């Protein structure tokens, strides 16, 4: 059985450069059947058939002279969206795996006004997620979060070094041993929802970093609605969130 490095096999199969193949694997867009290829240099059978899943096109939900609201596809970096939209600046970020409402400002004056709203916790942020286990009732989580930002960010509950974080979780539907939940956060710590849900024993489906044991193409978290100043934006749930299979 002949083997070679995954990115070389992919490059050969798709007629692309080794560099491009490595990039696609690093961005989490390459699959073998339903499993994501995680290590570009892993030795793999040269007969392996790869599938590339490109993210959906970026959908603009709304724009005016001050703000642009995007329905961010999963597996796209928030900064890549900022780079793709001329003259726009991120007002906040969503994790790479998270889909949904992402806001960018279009002029300095508005950007500063909006950032003040985020700082003063006057922005309403609603998410939808699938979580491990069965959740029957509303739960509020008030646990301080501390983030280590060396390399890949990692957050944890830390009563001493952590910053205040507040999350409200409400059950919406059950599917086997998984629950679909609505989440509202009044603070915006790195990986806040993921850490808080893992802390109560209900990590988000697909979130291996924080203890999910279920294989999924991504962390099943979606930013469904945001309210800032006089604006309200809603992003339709993508297929993987709307129906868990």
Active site residues: 95
What does the alpha-carbon distance between residue 223 and residue 197 come to, in Å, rounded to a whole number?
16
3-state helix, strand, coil in the chain (%, to 5): 20, 35, 45
3-state class (DSSP) for residue 77: coil
Burial of 199 (0-12, 13-18, 19+ CB in 10 A): middle
Token pair, residue 11, equals 């490059």
Q: How far is CA 42 from the centre of its chain?
A: 25
Pick from 153, 146, 157, 231: which is nearest to 199 by CA? 157
In this structure, the number of other CB atoms found within 10 A of the CB of residue 149 comes to 9
């Amino acid at each position: 059985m002949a083997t070679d490095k995954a990115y070389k096999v992919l490059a050969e199969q798709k007629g692309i450069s080794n560099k491009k193949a490595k990039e696609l694997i690093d961005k989490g867009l390459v699959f073998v059947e339903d499993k994501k290829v995680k290590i570009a240099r892993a030795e793999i059978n040269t007969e392996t058939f790869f599938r590339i899943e490109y993210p959906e096109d970026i959908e603009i939900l709304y724009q005016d002279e001050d703000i642009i609201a995007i329905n961010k596809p999963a597996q796209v970096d928030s900064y890549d969206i900022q780079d793709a939209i001329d003259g726009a600046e991120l007002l906040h970020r969503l994790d790479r795996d998270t889909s949904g409402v992402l806001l960018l400002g279009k002029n300095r004056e508005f950007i500063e006004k909006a950032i003040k709203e985020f700082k003063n916790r006057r922005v309403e942020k609603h998410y939808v997620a699938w979580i491990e286990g069965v959740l029957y009732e509303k739960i509020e989580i008030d646990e301080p979060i501390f983030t280590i930002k060396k390399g890949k960010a990692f957050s944890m509950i830390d009563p001493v070094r952590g910053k205040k974080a507040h999350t409200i979780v409400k059950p919406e539907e059950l599917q086997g041993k998984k629950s679909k939940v609505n989440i509202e956060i009044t603070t915006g710590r790195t990986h806040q929802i993921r850490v808080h849900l893992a802390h109560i024993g209900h990590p988000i489906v697909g979130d291996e970093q924080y203890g999910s044991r279920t294989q999924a193409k991504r962390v099943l978290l979606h930013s469904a609605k945001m309210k800032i100043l006089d604006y309200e934006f809603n992003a339709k749930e993508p297929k993987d969130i709307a129906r868990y299979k």
